[in-house]
A and B are shown apart, each in its own frame.
Chain A
Amino acid sequence: MKYIDGFRNPLAAKKIIERIEVLANLLKASGRKVSIMEVCGTHTMAIARFGIRNILPENIDLISGPGCPVCVTEAGYIDAAINLAKAGAVIVTFGDMINVPGSDESLAQCRANGALIEVVYSPSAAIKLARQFPEKNVVFLAVGFETTTAPMPAVIQIAEGEGIRNLSLLTAFKLVPPALKALMTDPELKIDSFLCPAHVSAIIGADAYKPFTGKEGVPCVVAGFEPLDILMAIDGILNQLVRNEASVENQYNRVVKPEGNLKAQALMDEYLQPVDARWRGLGLLPLSGLGLKNEFERFDAEKKHGITVKKGKEPSGCLCGEVIKGKSKPTSCPLFARGCTPDHAVGPCMVSSEGSCAAYYKYSL
């Protein structure tokens, strides 16, 4: 525990905040307002939980990005899972997904009506369920960024090894770098820097952000999830901006290597291939997701069951799409804390434990 306490030291925090204030003043003197996008949902939660947003100087704005896998998954994906459940499949999912509204209902409502929907904490639990229900089709809702995707090849390996035939994956894996590219080139958005994800970077490596830096780029700083990690990263970003630099900095080097986790990358390359993917808010982005390679299509739920995931119907009035892009703050949504609360969520950003709306609702003054 001393390990964590070290990253929560109030005196150290105070010193970094003082440095941030000095740098912010320098930027202010040259008339600069700075938008830092924290890409990852866990950062959004940590920032809210430690009250970091309200201690930053007024010309420094933190905007939440698309890094919540549940939030960027469209309603049509939930609809497809519900249809499979209604056709008799056992649906296996991480907990956050079950309350996300589909076009007409959520998986939780579908389960209450008798469908077999199992919440698990690890993808390997899908294997156990496939063994437990040999007569049923077991479909794992394979949603997530690079961190969550990395263990999936192992699941397919085990299923192959054991000759398990009733397990398939409904894939909606997403890749962080293509989303950053889309956000950087969006003319309506002005992002001055990225506070880059911790766990995703452990897989893809800090070097993955190099394409977003340099002359046309912005500072990219990889940060851990503790308050001092985040403050150090903001300090690093402002330092670069003051010097008119834009490079990759790895504040989380106790976990993240420049090249990432090569073993995990090799396994993912063996089983998965880049595919075009739909993102809530961002739309269809070329090669921004991962799907199973053709030789493993017997594990692909869409191909196995002859279905196609459609876009689905987004809830009316919900600004989740705008929130995910960083164009709207959660509190700007007319439904925020009125029609939409964690107990009665309209949009996914209020459901997920990594969602921006949930973070604002839970912690913001």
Chain B
Amino acid sequence: MKAELTIQLAHGGGGRLSRDLIQSEIVSRFGNGPLEGLPDAATIPWHCDKLLFTTDSYVVQPIEFPGGNIGDLAVHGTVNDLCVCGGRPKWLSVGLILEEGLPLATLRKVLDSMKKAAADCGITVVTGDTKVVGAGQSDGLYINTSGIAEAIKGFSLSPARITKGDDVIVSGNLADHGFAVLAARKNINISSALKSDTAPVHRLVQALEPFAGEIKFMRDPTRGGLSAVLNEIVENRNINIQLNETDIPFSTCVKALSETLGIDPLHVASEGRIVLICSSQVTDQILHTWKSMPEGFGAQSIGVVDSGKGRVTIKTITGGIRIVDVPRGELLPRIC
């Protein structure tokens, strides 16, 4: 039997093995465009007034999970950060940190996912870097991606614009990603239906262009979930956000796991969703637009902004009202 091909320290040494790895795995996938010829820096065209620029590192464990892997997550995460700030993603850098002994097959799978995800999002990988560390010095594979986007005209997003009477909308079921990763890590085989929601939100954001001026805030509810995003908005402001428990969309699997494990799904991450706050005049139009798209069919209006003392509250199924607290510390480490 042929031995499994794995990453060796020499793959990061700058010599022939390094060159072979870059040629066969990176250039073959991303080598058309500014990456061609492997210059030290990418030269990229710039035609707009404003650029958006962001970076994020991905250390999710396990590397593969139901519904995705670290590769598409590293593209979607950065693309989504650009999108929810009103950007049209254009260019991406990819930094890989590989651990000696990583199966080459795993790397190939991850890079294939990145290629597919980038093509789907309309973002081009223009520069990158690969490093190898010794066995035991990392955990398989880490990825850093930085992204640049052109600003979509018409958006003027700022939490300071949020006022009484605004509506809170989410683009679909929440918390699937966090629970899928947790279930994969702990070998909880609850259901084949539990998959990460990792996905790009660029189409959802671009579809909002006609109402851009009435949208005051967008965020992808990753670490800390919906609760962290909303609590950050109301902190030190004279506004409250009032949610309606029955309107917040969760999948059956998420509800079951959250009950079983005692984890509040309001604290758990999504990786392909948007939380949006807008003037109530455009709520119905936004819901109508999103619900007609595959990635937005589960969109729901989940609450309203009121004047108050800087609290997020929820009206429960009994009609009683309670606080939605901020998660204590890191609930599920290394979910992205």
Are the C-beta atoms of B255 and A55 separated by less than 8 Å?
no
> Does A364 contact B322, Cβ atoms closer than 8 Å?
yes
On whether the beta carbons of A52 and B318 are closer than 8 Å, the reply is yes
Give the chain B neighbours of A342 by CB distance below 8 A: 328
Q: Does A29 contact B (CB under 8 A)?
A: no
Q: Which residue of A lies closest to B251 (CB)?
A: A1
From 234 to 266 in chain B, residues with beta carbon under 8 angstroms from any chain A beta carbon are 246, 252, 255-256, 259, 262
Which range contains the number of B residues in contact with the other chain?
A: 20 to 34
Indicate whether A50 sits within 8 Å of B316 (C-beta atoms), given known contacts A4-B255, A10-B246: yes
Q: How far is the CB of A323 from chain B (nearest CB, A)?
A: 19
| Closest-CB distance, B247 to chain A (whole angstroms) | 11
Asked if A87 is at the interface (CB within 8 A of a chain B CB), the reply is no
A51 touches B259 (CB 8 A): no
B contact patch SS: mixed
The answer to whether A28 has its CB under 8 Å from any CB of chain B is no
CA distance A4 to B253 in the complex (A): 12
**Docked CA distance A69–B246 (Å):** 33
B252 touches which of A1, A52, A231, A343 (Cβ 8 Å)? A1
Contact of A1 among B255, B311, B318, B321 (CB under 8 A): B255
With beta carbons under 8 angstroms apart, the residue of A4, A14, A362 that contacts B319 is A14
A residues in contact with B29, CB < 8 Å: none
Contact partners of A5 in chain B: CB under 8 A: 255
Quick one: which of B246, B321, B328 contacts A365, CB cutoff 8 A?
B321
Minimum Cβ distance to chain A for residue B187 (Å): 15
**In the complex the two chains form, is A51's CB within 8 Å of B255's CB?**
no
Chain B residues contacting A55 (CB-CB under 8 Å) are 318-320
For the complex, give the distance between the alpha carbons of A55 and B314 in Å.
Answer: 13
Q: Would you call A13 an interface residue if the criterion is a C-beta within 8 Å of the partner chain's C-beta atoms? A: yes
Residues of B within 8 A of A51 (CB): 314-316, 318-322
Question: Does B207 make an interface contact (CB < 8 A)?
Answer: no
Distance of A236 from chain B, by nearest CB (Å):
16
Chain B residue numbers with a CB within 8 Å of A48 are 322
Q: What is the size category of the interface that chain A forms with chain B? A: 20 to 34
- On whether the beta carbons of B319 and A10 are closer than 8 Å, the reply is yes
Q: Is A227 an interface residue (CB 8 A)?
A: yes
Residues of A contacting B318 in the complex (Cβ-Cβ under 8 angstroms): 10, 13, 17, 50-52, 55, 227, 231
Asked if A327 lies at the interface with its beta carbon under 8 angstroms from chain B, I say no
Question: B317 at interface (Cβ–Cβ under 8 A)?
Answer: yes
- Are A54 and B320 neighbours in the complex by a CB distance under 8 Å? yes
Measured CA separation A9–B245 after assembly (Å): 12
- Taking CB atoms and an 8 Å cut-off, the chain B residues in 281-336 that contact chain A are 311, 313-323, 325, 328
A54-68 interface with B by 8 A CB criterion: 54-55
Of listed B246, B259, B316, B318, residue having the most chain A CB within 10 A: B318
Q: How far is the CA of A14 from the CA of B321 in the complex (A)?
A: 14
CB closest residue in chain A, given B262: A353
Does A363 make an interface contact (CB < 8 A)?
yes
Contacting residue for A4 out of B259, B262, B311, B325, CB 8 A: B259
CB pair A362–B317 under 8 Å, yes or no, is: no
Instruction: Give CA–CA (A304, B95) in the complex, Å.
Output: 58
A14-B314 Cα distance, complex, nearest whole Å: 17
Closest to B255 in A: A1
Q: Is A49 an interface residue (CB 8 A)?
A: yes
Nearest B residue to A51, CB-CB: B320
Which chain A residue has the least Cβ–Cβ distance from B264?
A49
Q: Tell me which residues across on chain B come within 8 A of A50, comparing CB atoms.
A: 316-318, 320, 322
Please indicate the chain B residues that have their CB under 8 angstroms from the CB of A365 in the complex: 311, 313, 321-323
Contacting residues, chain B, for A4 (C-beta < 8 A)? 255-256, 259
B284–chain A nearest beta-carbon distance, Å: 23
A342 to B252, CA, bound (A): 30
Residue from B262, B316, B321 whose CB has the most chain A CB atoms within 10 Å? B316
CB contacts (< 8 Å) of B314 on chain A: these are 51
| Distance in angstroms between the alpha carbons of A362 and B264 in the assembled complex | 12
Q: Which of A16-65 contact B (CB under 8 A)?
A: 17, 48-55
A8 within 8 A of B: yes
A54: chain B residues at CB < 8 Å are: 320-321
Q: How far is the CA of A4 from the CA of B252 in the complex (A)?
A: 10
- Give A13 to B255 CA distance when docked, in angstroms: 19
Contact B323 A362 (CB under 8 A): yes
B313 neighbours in A (Cβ, 8 Å):
365
* Binary B-proximity of A314-348 (CB < 8 A = 1, otherwise 0): 00000000000000000000000000001100000
Q: Known: A1-B256, A342-B328, A343-B328. Contact between A9 and B317, CB under 8 A?
A: yes
| Docked CA distance A5–B251 (Å) | 12
Alpha-carbon distance between A55 and B322 when the two chains are bound, in angstroms: 11
Report the bound CA distance from A342 to B325 in whole Å.
12
Which residues of chain A are within 8 angstroms of B256 by Cβ–Cβ distance?
1, 4
Residues on B with beta carbons closer than 8 Å to the beta carbon of A10 = 246, 317-319
**What's the Cα separation between A53 and B246 when bound, in Å?**
19
Q: Which residue of chain B has the shortest Cβ distance to A3 in the bound complex?
A: B256
Q: Which residues of A contact B320 (CB under 8 A)?
A: 50-55
CA distance A13 to B323 in the complex (A): 20
- Contacts A1-B252, A4-B259 given; indicate if A363 touches B323 (C-beta within 8 A): yes
Q: Is the CB of A49 within 8 A of B328?
A: no
Q: Counting chain B CB atoms within 10 Å of each CB, which of A4, A10, A353 scores highest?
A: A10
Q: Could you say which residues of chain A place their CB within 8 Å of the CB of B323?
A: 362-365
Q: Which residues of B contact A363 (CB under 8 A)?
A: 322-323, 325
Q: A1-B255, A227-B316 are in contact. Are A49 and B322 (CB under 8 A)?
A: yes
Q: Which of chain A's residues have a CB closer than 8 A to the CB of B322?
A: 48-51, 363-365
Residues of A within 8 A of B315 (CB): 51
Q: How far is the CA of A365 from the CA of B313 in the complex (A)?
A: 8
* Least CB separation from A363: chain B residue: B322
**Contact surface of A with B, Cβ cutoff 8 Å:** 1, 4-5, 8-10, 13-14, 17, 48-55, 227, 231, 342-343, 353, 362-365
Q: List 13 A-B contacts (CB under 8 A).
A: A9-B317, A14-B319, A17-B319, A50-B317, A51-B314, A52-B318, A52-B320, A342-B328, A362-B323, A362-B325, A363-B323, A364-B322, A365-B313
Which 6 pairs between the two chains have the least Cβ-Cβ distance? A51-B320, A363-B322, A51-B322, A55-B320, A51-B316, A50-B316
Q: A50-B317, A227-B317 are in contact. List 9 more A-B contacts (CB 8 A).
A: A10-B246, A13-B319, A14-B319, A51-B314, A51-B315, A52-B320, A227-B316, A363-B322, A364-B323
